[in-house]
Structure 1
Amino acid sequence: MNCSILFTDLPLHERPQAARDAGFDAVEFWWPFAEAVPANREVDAFVRAVDDAGVRLTGLNFPAGDMPAGDRGLLSDPSRSHEFRDAIAIATGIGARLGTTGFNALYGNRIDGVAPAEQDTLAAENLAVAGLAAAAIGAVVLVEPVSGVDAYPLKTAADAVAVLDRVGSDHVALLLDVYHLAVNGDDVEAAIDRYAGRIGHVQIADAPGRGEPGTGDLPLSAWLERLTAAGYDGWIGCEYKPTGSDPFAWLPAGARAGSTTRA
């Protein structure tokens, strides 16, 4: 469960326990701090909340700026990429303590007055550095196509894979969020077939609306079966906006724990 988009009626530090109480043993978060470089006590409090709940933090976003205001990443912004660099050690330090396998590095919007090629070169450099830090704890850095923000340049799986090719690192992989790809008009089945070996993490939500599975018309079960057939055996992140009184009714209680699913 993505605890930055679910359980939002609770304080952030209570959400891991809420996920556990609902039957899940793994969570993911967007950057859970107000600043790119939080105080040590803030980091420790976050780690303690996850650890005390008995869940694993499988995914963590790097700081992405002011997302409600439209920011979608710092790593390609020449004026702010130092914030991304400063956060690498913090994010991977958290990951080493909580078993994180993937770190989502939102690419950043195009910036007026800055050449796209300059942003792309900077992004590749920063992703390579982050990838090495992630690899040291057995994790990967993830690059994600996103919908809803015109200035964000990665719209399709092919756009993200072009970034991976530019970086040239085995430690940087595709985050396949089927909701974003579908909303952007990408061919999800073709992306799975073509890029299965490049996928480091998968996220789901239904469309239209970005609600839980079953609230829209996306063939989520078929896509997940296709991913499995293509060899993907990683985590599936539920990153949706709950629409009903029980946002987990679509998933039987016995199938909510990742360890149970794998068994």
Structure 2
Amino acid sequence: MDRRRLTVNCSILFTAASLLHRPRHARDAGFDAVEFWWPFDVTVPADRDVEAFVTAVEDAGVRLTHLNLAAGDLAAGDRGLLSSPRHSAEFRDSVDVATDIGKRLGTVGFNALYGNRVDGLEVATQNELATENLAIAARAAAAIGATILVEPLSAIPAYPLLHAADAVAVCDRVRREHGVDNVMLLADLYHLAVNGDDLDEVLSVHSGRVGHVQLADAPGRGEPGTGNLDLARCLRILDTQSYRGWISLEYRATRADPFDWISDFPA
């Protein structure tokens, strides 16, 4: 497999190292590109913390292809801020921070996790806010030639986007109501498979809506080849559908060399 298409998620890989050292580890492992979940402890980090992150990526000689927007406390179960009235302003602030970083580091996509359902809040009200905030984020991303990504997730009961069709419907709603067309599906093949999507169908039917692809095998969320998914077949389907975007390695390392599958991978 051509490593030039691969970007390494440094929030889930190289976790034995501190976050700012991980881009260098990715480079040393033979990769030219990295991505991160939100890399800060707060929604609006101090300027010195932003500079430290940017410098770590630059000094490693890699490109930051993708970055999650602020999504709350993931360890506590949060999965996004953009559909919560309480946290909407924080989300918008994180868009400013992220696009400034992205402009400097060549970022092409920002993952905007939709957010869990809020008890006591009408679903329609929450969806309306989410649509507005996604449009705001999309306009900011477009200014630097990037896209906003919407991702279905697994194992979070309160998270409403489970299937590719759910995320595509969100993208359609943003386009229809706000006239922006750079909101796309993040096809995390692990989450989609765990939630019961037929990956062949998803990648064929929605290929034109895919803005980014992330790989992990299922079950287990380990390296390709550690589970039951035919990930090589998935990538071949994407190639036939003219997907030429990045492929993210977003899995948990289970072997001494978590990248030993790449050279023999038939994709």
Percent identity for Structure 1 against Structure 2: 64
Q: Using the TM superposition, give the Cα deviation of residue 188 of structure 1 relative to its aligned residue in structure 2, in angstroms.
A: 1.1
Q: Map residues 75-94 of structure 1 onto 2, 5 A cutoff.
A: 75-94=82-101
Structure 2 gaps, min length 5: 1-7
Q: Give the 3-state SS of the residue equivalent to 1:97 in structure 2.
A: helix
Q: Give the 3-state SS of the residue equivalent to 1:209 in structure 2.
A: coil
> Structure 1 stretches (4+) deviating beyond 3 angstroms?
none
Q: Using the TM superposition, give the Cα deviation of residue 252 of structure 1 relative to its aligned residue in structure 2, in angstroms.
A: 2.3
Q: Give the 3-state SS of the residue equivalent to 2:173 in structure 1.
A: helix
2:234 matched to which residue of 1? 223
How many angstroms apart in 2 are the aligned matches of 1:83 and 1:194? 35
1:199 matched to which residue of 2? 210
Write the letter of the residue equivalent to 1:186: D
* 1:167 and 2:167 matched: no
2:143 matched to which residue of 1? 136
Q: Using the TM superposition, give the Cα deviation of residue 77 of structure 1 relative to its aligned residue in structure 2, in angstroms.
A: 0.5
Write the letter of the residue equivalent to 2:194: V
1:69 matched to which residue of 2? 76
How many angstroms apart in 1 are the aligned matches of 2:80 and 2:61? 30
Q: Give the 3-state SS of the residue equivalent to 2:165 in structure 1.
A: helix
Matching residue within 111, 114, 119 for 1:107: 114
Write the letter of the residue equivalent to 2:255: G
Q: Using the TM superposition, give the Cα deviation of residue 187 of structure 1 relative to its aligned residue in structure 2, in angstroms.
A: 1.2
- Aligned residues between the structures: 255
Q: Give the 3-state SS of the residue equivalent to 1:128 in structure 2.
A: helix
Q: Map residues 113-262 of structure 1 onto 2, 5 A cutoff.
A: 113-168=120-175, 169-252=180-263
* 1:38 and 2:45 matched: yes
Q: Using the TM superposition, give the Cα deviation of residue 125 of structure 1 relative to its aligned residue in structure 2, in angstroms.
A: 0.2
How many angstroms apart in 1 are the aligned matches of 2:88 and 2:263? 42
Q: Give the 3-state SS of the residue equivalent to 1:109 in structure 2.
A: coil
* 1:58 and 2:65 matched: yes
How many angstroms apart in 2 are the aligned matches of 1:170 and 1:232? 17
Write the letter of the residue equivalent to 1:159: D
- TM-score normalised by structure 1 residue count: 0.95
Q: Using the TM superposition, give the Cα deviation of residue 5 of structure 1 relative to its aligned residue in structure 2, in angstroms.
A: 0.2
